[in-house]
Structure formats: structure tokens, C-alpha cells
A and B are shown apart, each in its own frame.
Chain A
Amino acid sequence: MFEVLEHPADIGFRAFGATLPELFANSAVAMLTIACELEQAAPREEYAISATGSDYESLLVNWLNEVLYWFDGKRIALREFRVTELEPDSICAVALGEPREVERPRLKVVVKAVTWHQLRVAQTENGWLAEVYLDI
């Protein structure tokens, strides 16, 4: 579903998806898996999340920044994502998760932000891939 990419100071991931909605969902899971022990979060509540952009790249950055804001600002750990609508300039999704507690899910690293550095969204033989670097 995703693999970690090395960077001298920060960290990145390469996510895969058979379809674009799956790619966006997997990218969000990849980012939060880098940030915390995501399996400790129970997918017990539903949250509606959306973002806009001007192309798939900017949409992906804005989407991930939205998910990060929910995690670090609203303090909700989102475990699963069901993308309900995806256009080149907008995304709507239902996310399953729960409010964060002090030690659950356990934090691995503070993800400060999603960067545009070497950002990639591309179609492959088997579907789609995205490469994203995070500032940590």
C-alpha cells in the first residue's frame, strides 16, 4: 500500500492505489502511520473531510494537510478513509477514527507539514502512485 522514502533530514512515502480514490486514501494512511501507531486508533466514529486544489498534485498536498490538521489541530486519529467523490480539483471523504488520547495512539514523530518537494502523482501499469515528503 505504501513504502517509506529516505530523505537526508525528513521522511517521505510512496503510496499506491488501483484507483485515484484509493491512492488518496492510502496516502493519508501512510502519513498517519509515519506519525503514530495508527492501529491503536479505533475506527468507531465517522468524520466528513474534504479539500480542494487546482490539479491532482495540489489536491493531494491540500488533502494531506487537511488530514494533518484533523490529527494535530482537532486531535482526531483517523484510521480509515472512504473517498466518496474525487475530481481533479476537489475531494470528499468519510474518515473513520476517534479522538486522540494522551498515549493513544502513541505518537512516533511530530509531522510538521506536507511539502511540495519532489511531489509526484502518476499513473502506472497497475494503477496510480504518489510520492510525498513530510517535514518532521
Chain B
Amino acid sequence: MPHEIQIEAVDGLRYRIARDEGRGMRTDVVVYASEALMAQIRKDLSLEQAMNVATLPGITGPSLAMPDIHQGYGFPIGGVAAMDFEDGVVSPGGVGFDINCGVRLVRTTLAADDVRPKLRELVNQIFRDVPCGAGGSGFVKAGAKDLEHVLRDGARWMVENGYGEERDAQFAEAGGALEDADPAAVSERAKERGRPQLGTLGSGNHFLEVQFVEQIHDETAARAFGISAGQVVVLIHSGSRGLGHQVCTDYVAEMNKVMPRYGITLPDRQLACCPISAPEGQAYLAAMRAAANFAWANRQGIMHFLRGAFRRIFGDGAHLDLIYDVCHNIAKRERYEVAGRKRDVLVHRKGATRAFPAGHREIPADYRHVGQPVFVPGSMGTASWVLAGAEGAMRETFGSVCHGAGRLMSRTAAKKGRDAQYETQKLEEAGILVRSESRDGILEELPEAYKNVDEVIEVVHKAGLARKVARLRPMGVIKG
């Protein structure tokens, strides 16, 4: 149980759970948190889960937990684990069911004062034009053959087929498409589930938010990202929809089947894994990359329809540009110095964002002098953050930071005793318009259900993992 875990406070920002061989742990757990956040983190099973991750063969460095960590299944959400690329394992559960769930931030040429008088009109238009997908399909026309291209080329296919502008694909992590994706490794079932859902938001915590830049914390980085105080931006949070969910489902089942062959036993079957070098591991990675590409195409589709909605309300006066697109559920081969030696590792980020510092060659040239843009959405009604990756992340967290505020309350608890109409009204009085497919959706995602995002950001900023660039405030929310 959580209260039995021995936790050592390292310096007020870092906590350590020492390797416990009795539990089969191969390494320590390091948690990034303030004292107050740590008190909240201890309430659920997330630390146990981070300890379970520490038992995985080939784990390199500690099993890491970001300040927004909360209980998932198998891996905690907000966890980072690097596996040795030669001897380590790959775990589909360490990426999650929503492969390449992520966020993209879009800047507009409008100011909050331009948008506010037409906010209701705009939010209603976006709600009409960007489907949540509850009805089963979106507006992207993609046949079975097209889907093969989407799985290989990601956002690029969308741009080439009229769903975006040339520079969109360049300003996404990995250029909006991972190499070595193999559509043949993706099951027909996954394709069947995903194809009609291309360009849809989904439900749960997925959303689209019209926001304004409330405060700039780093002028140089903000200028590079093209944002200034008062400017309207749009944050899109979605993933690979049914396609990614099915890929994960398929390969968790496959790995549970083959694990005995590789002599792997685990404390939780959701951690199911196999050697990266095994045929099943390679097949999963090829399918995961294809699903990741689908997710980038999906967010690109959503952005395309968003542009249309802005055009309908503001005419040609509003131009929308992609700042960047980051994923927070992914496994990637990267190179880090570990114990004085350069090593290739497979970094599993489950609810964690890549945060490369200034100078890294994978950052678009326009941003390379300030660091990779990182977007951390808070809860509906509070705030979101723009950060820039910093050196500390390369030294300590395999180039990773947090991905959100982190849930505090279960969905059922959030709904208890609350009325959707009253809560919507309350948000509206605070200047935030919300449209949702379901009334429950609004209640489940209320600010009270989440940790304080500012506190989460404070930890990663002070720990030197990423720098604060700007704080964003919501104006209009479309919830899946």
C-alpha cells in the first residue's frame, strides 16, 4: 500500500524511492514534486506503479515520475522510463492506449478583444466544424488506400491533400511523421476503427480551447514562438483515436502471449512487454509509429477545420499558424549520456512531453536558439502553459517533462453533487464559454478534479527541466 513506501526527500523538488530488490526493482524511482504535490501523489497507486516500472528488464537510469503523475494502469500517467536499446524491453502499456495523444498550439493574428464580442459565435462554429466523433465519423475524406499513406506520412499527407498549409507539417515533433512506420503491422481492425475517425477530437479529456496569452515570462522565447500578451491562441488536445487504441490492445495481448518465451514475469499484466529486438517488439514499434503518424494527421485535420471556423467568423482577417505539436504518449529511440557513457535508449513517455533544450538539432531552426516548445494544458477554466525545454531535462529525465495538471479526483467523485448547468454558468461568469457533447463531460473535467497546474509548472521550472515562457487563459472550450 502507498503508506508503506519509504520516500526520501532529496531537495524539496525531487523525491527518491530506493531500489527494493525484494520487489524485483532494478532501479530507483525519482519523483519530481513539491511537498504539497507529493502529499496528493501519495493518495493513489501511482508510486506503486512507478515502482513496478522499475522492475522492467533493461531499464536505464531511474523510473521517473513527473509532478502531474497520477494512477494509470500498468504504468503511471506522468511516467518516463528509458530502456536500453540493445537489452531492454518495449511495453505497449508504457506508451498507452492513446498512442501519440498530444497537443498542438496554434497562434492567431487576433487579440482577445477582437474575439470576445464574437466568442459565442466562434465557439458554436468550431463545435459544428470540428466533430468530436461521437457520431462515428469526421469530415476527412480518406479511403482505405489513403489510410496507408496517412500511416506512413502523418501530417504531411494531410497537407498534401488539402488539409493544411505547407509549414504545418514542419512545425510538429518529428515533422509530423515518424520514420519506419509500417502500415502492415497495424491490424485491419485498427484501421477499421480509426479510418472514419480521422479529424475528430474524441472524448474523455480531449478538447479544443480558444485561449489568450495572459502573461509572458520569457520574452526571447515568446518572440521566437510568435506569441505576445493578449494574443489569441488555440490549443488542440487529441490522439490516435480508435486506431491507436486497437494497436495497443492487439499488442498487449500479443506480448502477454509471448512473454513466457522470453522468460519475463511481471507484477502487473498491463505492463506486458518483450525485448525490443524480438520480432514482436519490432512489429509493435512499427505499428506504434504508424499510429503516431495517424495522430499527427488527426490533429492536422482538426486544425484545418478550425481554420475554416475562424474564416467563417472573422473572414480573411484572421490567420492561423501552427506554433508546434508535441506528443505525450510515445516510445522513441534517443541517445543520452548515462553514467558517463553515451547509450541508445527507448524512452517510454506515458503522459510526459519531450523537452529538448536550445541547440538540439531536432528542434525547428526558428526555435533552436530558445529550446523546444512544450505545451502543458491545465484544467478547463484555469490555465495552460507554454514552456521551453531546458538542459536539466537532458541530464536528468531523458529529455522529458510533465504533460498536464494531473487528475486529483475520480470522474465519479467530480460529478457527485454537481450540476452541469450551474457549473457551465459559473464558468461563463468567469469569461469561459464551454460546449460539450455530454453534460457529464463538463463535470468530469471541472478544475476541481485536477491538481493546480501552476504548482506543477513551478516544479519543472525550478528543477531546470523546462523554462516558463507564457501562461495562457481559456476563453472558449470545446469538449469531446
Contact = CB atoms under 8 A, between A and B. Distances in A.
Interface of A: 4, 6-11, 54, 57-58, 61-62, 65, 69, 72-75, 100, 102-103, 107-110, 112-119, 133, 135-136
A9 B438 contact: no
Contact of A73 (B246, B409, B411, B480): B246
Contacts of B96: 135
B50 to A, nearest CB: 14
B73 A133 contact: yes
Interface residues of chain A: helix, strand, loop or mixed (majority): loop
A121 to B, nearest CB: 13
* SS class, residues of chain B in contact with chain A: mixed
B378 interface: no
Interface string B163-194: 00000000000000000000000000100110
A135 B410 contact: no
Contacts of B413: 6
Interface stretch (B21-29, B268-276, B422-430): B268-276
Contact of B242 (A61, A72, A109, A116): A72
Given A103-B135, A119-B269, A113 B74 contact: no
Contact of A108 (B97, B246, B440): B440
A113 B269 CA distance: 15
Contact of B192 (A73, A109, A115, A136): A73
B97 A112 contact: yes
Interface residues of B, number: 45
B204 A136 contact: yes
B51 to A, nearest CB: 15
Given A8-B410, A75-B136, A102-B136, A110 B203 contact: yes
Contact of A110 (B44, B204, B246, B256): B204
Contact of B73 (A4, A10, A69, A73): A10
A117 B73 contact: yes
B257 interface: yes
Given A69-B246, A75-B136, A116 B257 contact: no
Contacts of B72: 9-10, 117
B409 to A, nearest CB: 8
B246 A9 contact: no
Which 3 pairs of residues, A with B, have the shortest CB-CB distance? A117-B73, A6-B410, A116-B269
Interface in B131-182: 133-136
A4 B412 contact: yes
A109 B412 CA distance: 13
A11 B248 CA distance: 18
Contact of B74 (A7, A54, A107, A116): A116
A130 to B, nearest CB: 15
Interface in B409-451: 409-413, 437-438, 440-441
B407 interface: yes
Contacts of B335: none
A73 B242 contact: yes
B235 interface: no
Interface in B216-249: 242, 245-246, 248-249
B209 interface: no
Contact of A117 (B70, B74, B135, B407): B74
A116 B73 contact: yes
A52 to B, nearest CB: 10
B253 interface: yes
A110 B202 contact: yes
B185 to A, nearest CB: 18
B326 interface: no
B340 to A, nearest CB: 37
A107 B136 CA distance: 10
Contacts of B249: 65, 113-114
Contacts of A108: 438, 440
